[in-house]
Structure 1
Amino acid sequence: MSLTPNTFLRSLFARAVEVADPMQSLAAALPPKPAGGVLVVGAGKASARMAEAVEAEWGPCEGLVITRYGYARPCQGIEIVEAAHPVPDAAGEAATKRLLALLATAGEGDFVLALISGGGSALLTAPAGGITLAEKQALTQALLASGAPIGEINGIRKQISAVKGGKLAAAAYPARMLALMISDVPGDDPGDIASGPTVGHSGDAGRALEALQTWNVTPAASIAEYLLRGGDTVTPDDPRLSRTENVIYAAPSQSLAAAADLAKAQGYTVEMLGDSIEGEARDIAAAHAALACKAAPGTLILSGGELTVTRRGDGIGGPNAEYALALALALNGADNIHAIACDTDGVDGAAEVAGAVIDPDTLAKAAAKGIDPSDALDRNDAHSFFAAIGDQVIPGPTLTNVNDFRAILVT
């Protein structure tokens, strides 16, 4: 192989992102433009790129899409609004109100195309039951720091939102709706993508309260009281969802498969661990290090999913960088193992960094700079660690989101 291991791993990540680019993948799932009134709405880190891809096929459309700051794309007719992620802000709340007002104009003969991708949970912001934006922001921050898996977090979000858990589709009724989705969740459940704004919810307020207790998160009094009153649930059999179709057209498995094909073409044997791995980043890293140490030379170990970090310190990090740091510590300089761990949306945690690469010299490079990797891990400071040794992966906005990408190369 002519490429260095580091460069090769970065090329695998780039390939995984390329396959999920809406400009490469959305057209095949898009029907001909319907006659009559058409509205395009959406939210997520990939939603502006999805809107751009729609207009490349359909021409100018009326609509409103909310994406993360820095992720806007030029569109011919669809308005793109940027807002905050992962903690919602006033811009997202105002844009969501406008989006709901736009849907209120749709009638039975109209068609609504909803473009949904990961990140939509924060970007679609409409607190229910008198809950304030500040209270929702505080809850979001606490949940993200708790180590709770994304499914638990989204179940709570659905209960306190006026737009998640099928409520966006209910607001569009009686118009016909097609929701095109890019999955960023383990298991590819459409109800979990962006907290399922177009998918009915089978959970309830009591389950949300139990989850808050499980993860030691104390909500504001208004949130607890709202949940105790029963919240507001749009169930899967709600008649208002009868005219909505949900289609996942891009998923993590496709990106992992594309990376696997690239590796096989270079003569590597690929061991696929799956696209739905969840758990504490440092624990999964330790398990993967053990697998790598037993693997034969010429093996590439691929995995995806969504890892979590329980905040223990005050550092700057994210699940992928923390995984990479914990992996480097567990491997302890093994001389033939290299790895990459990145979020395909280009943002690991809240930092504008996708993740990091490690190699047999990672710990030695840190020692040469007087950096203690164990201390960095204890303080959840993985981004600072990799910035100091020059091994961050910073692609900028990728305009898509199919969750974590991890590859371990045994040379």
Structure 2
Amino acid sequence: MPIDNPKQFLLDLYSSAISAVSAEKCLPQYLPKPVPGGRTIVIGAGKGAAAMAKAVEDHWDGELSGLVVTRYEHGLPCKHIEVVEASHPVPDAAGRDAAKRMLEMVKGLTEKDLVICLVSGGGSALLALPAKNITLEEKQQINRKLLRSGASISEMNCVRKHLSDIKGGRLALACAPAKVVTLLISDIPGDDPGIIASGPTLPDPTTCEDALAILKKYQIDVPANVVKHLESGEGETPKPGDPRFARNENHIIATAQEALEAAAEMARAQGITPYILSDRIEGESRDIALMHAAMAKQVIDRNQPFEKPCVIISGGETTVTVKGNGRGGRNAEFLLSLAIALDKEPGVYAIACDTDGIDGSEDNAGAVYAPDSVARAEEKGIRPRKLLENNDGYGFFDALDDLIVTGPSRTNVNDFRAILII
């Protein structure tokens, strides 16, 4: 079946992916039963925390109260659960103060009480409570350096856990002896629940030594008190096997794979054969784009490894080692690198967006690419390679009016990419 509007086709795939991993669709079936005679407290953090809290309220039969923290402009009105907004990806005082209040809220609970913890991507920055001998300003600076370093999300969260008084299982220990049921929307390649939002309610197998090795690997200078905190073992996290976690449960309620499968189903409905490449692609955005471009050319030239028409779908979380001062976002960087590598190849269209609706720290979800994108840019005097060198994928697609601006989706299973070959 011919695709009359390739751009709309790709936008439809993205929309179907987002809908498949919404809190309202995914959360209700995982709600625990109310505990007779005990209190139910809802806590949590992440870009999807407000939507998750509202889904709990809409489907909960009984009394509850609580507090969740989400990114600025990601809030939703709730009746019984307070929603606080804070900064992401670099933490701020609002997130720190919310973390302090959350710990106070769960003090003194008993075995009869139930804590429902709602966790989604972004929670690491949003639920920021630096260890007692580390300042918020120091934590902010380390976060900025990590974000620009090219470190993977698991590496960044390893460091964050060991500089925190709430991450890496510490929040669950504060709730003990109450039972903690953690519901998670995964933004982590591989869906390890202990890495999502730096695992505030799960035991942590990583160590202070691991965190030091990551800082050394990416040549990130940190203050002497931070080094001391890690070298002394003061920042060590509770480990698997700790009996204080024995009664707790955790359930991943939405994943990147589910989003990709929903998009694949939408493609089939429109007569295009989908191929899911992977839900856990990591690496430099511009390098991952080169691999995708090579695959697209192989399909065009040799009908290998897939026959056209087809759409290649993938997820995961790429990274950008920032060397320029342009307006970026890892999805815009991926698409700009793809555009250069395809070199005006006819018949290839692509979309790359973050499923949370925000590409990095910009105001767009991502962008779309068409065979004429580079030619249209050159007509405007834009040099694509120069913009890529400056990490300015946003600027490239903004000039073409090809940015995708959706606003917050209030969910987050990381990158969504689809390459249509016709």
Q: TM-score, normalised by structure 1?
A: 0.98
Matched, 1:263 2:267: yes
- C-alpha distance after superposition, 1:263-314 (max 9, x if no partner): 1121212221110000000000000001011123211000000000001101
- C-alpha distance after superposition, 1:215-242 (max 9, x if no partner): 1111122211111111221111122212
Partner of 1:254: 258
Picking from 288, 291, 294, the partner of 1:287 is: 291
Work out the CA distance in 2 between the residues paired with 1:218 and 1:103: 35
Matched, 1:326 2:327: no
Matched, 1:17 2:32: no
Pairs aligned (count)? 411
Pairs within 5 Å for 1:9-408: 9-35=10-36, 36-58=38-60, 61-230=64-233, 231-295=235-299, 296-408=307-419
Equivalent residues of 1:182, 1:401 under 8 A apart: yes
Work out the CA distance in 2 between the residues paired with 1:108 and 1:266: 53
Work out the CA distance in 2 between the residues paired with 1:351 and 1:220: 29
Matched letter for residue 238 of structure 1: D
- C-alpha distance after superposition, 1:124-161 (max 9, x if no partner): 11101410000000000000000011111111111111
Q: Secondary structure at the match of 1:275?
A: strand
**Structure 1 position 207, deviation (Å):** 1.2
Work out the CA distance in 1 between the residues paired with 2:198 and 2:32: 25
Q: Secondary structure at the match of 1:409?
A: strand
Q: Which moved more, 1:262-271 or 1:185-194?
A: 262-271
**Structure 1 position 32, deviation (Å):** 3.0
**Structure 1 position 3, deviation (Å):** 4.7
> Between the two proteins, what is the percent identity of the paired residues?
49
Work out the CA distance in 2 between the residues paired with 1:337 and 1:2: 12
Matched letter for residue 402 of structure 1: V
Work out the CA distance in 2 between the residues paired with 1:34 and 1:360: 58
- C-alpha distance after superposition, 1:156-214 (max 9, x if no partner): 11111111111111111000110000001100000110011111111111111111110
Work out the CA distance in 2 between the residues paired with 1:391 and 1:147: 26
Q: Secondary structure at the match of 2:124?
A: helix
Work out the CA distance in 2 between the residues paired with 1:220 and 1:377: 33
CA RMSD of aligned residues (A): 1.1
Q: Which moved more, 1:109-118 or 1:58-67?
A: 58-67
Work out the CA distance in 1 between the residues paired with 2:366 and 2:3: 24
Matched letter for residue 356 of structure 1: A
Work out the CA distance in 2 between the residues paired with 1:114 and 1:391: 38
Q: Secondary structure at the match of 1:273?
A: strand
Work out the CA distance in 1 between the residues paired with 2:132 and 2:124: 18
Work out the CA distance in 2 between the residues paired with 1:214 and 1:253: 30
Work out the CA distance in 2 between the residues paired with 1:31 and 1:205: 34
Q: Secondary structure at the match of 2:75?
A: coil
Q: Which moved more, 1:395-404 or 1:20-29?
A: 20-29
- C-alpha distance after superposition, 1:93-151 (max 9, x if no partner): 00100001001132221000000000000011110141000000000000000001111
Work out the CA distance in 2 between the residues paired with 1:233 and 1:129: 14
Partner of 2:304: none
Equivalent residues of 2:46, 2:122 under 8 A apart: yes
CA pair 3-55 structure 1, distance change in 2 beyond 3 A? farther
Q: Which moved more, 1:267-276 or 1:28-37?
A: 28-37
Q: TM-score, normalised by structure 2?
A: 0.96
Equivalent residues of 1:65, 1:78 under 8 A apart: yes
Work out the CA distance in 2 between the residues paired with 1:84 and 1:402: 19
Q: Which moved more, 1:99-108 or 1:395-404?
A: 99-108
Q: Secondary structure at the match of 2:105?
A: helix
Q: Which moved more, 1:25-34 or 1:302-311?
A: 25-34
Work out the CA distance in 2 between the residues paired with 1:169 and 1:361: 53
Equivalent residues of 1:61, 1:76 under 8 A apart: no
Work out the CA distance in 1 between the residues paired with 2:114 and 2:4: 49
- List runs of 5+ in structure 2 lacking aligned partners: 300-306
- C-alpha distance after superposition, 1:324-361 (max 9, x if no partner): 10001100111100000000001111112111100001
**Structure 1 position 20, deviation (Å):** 0.7
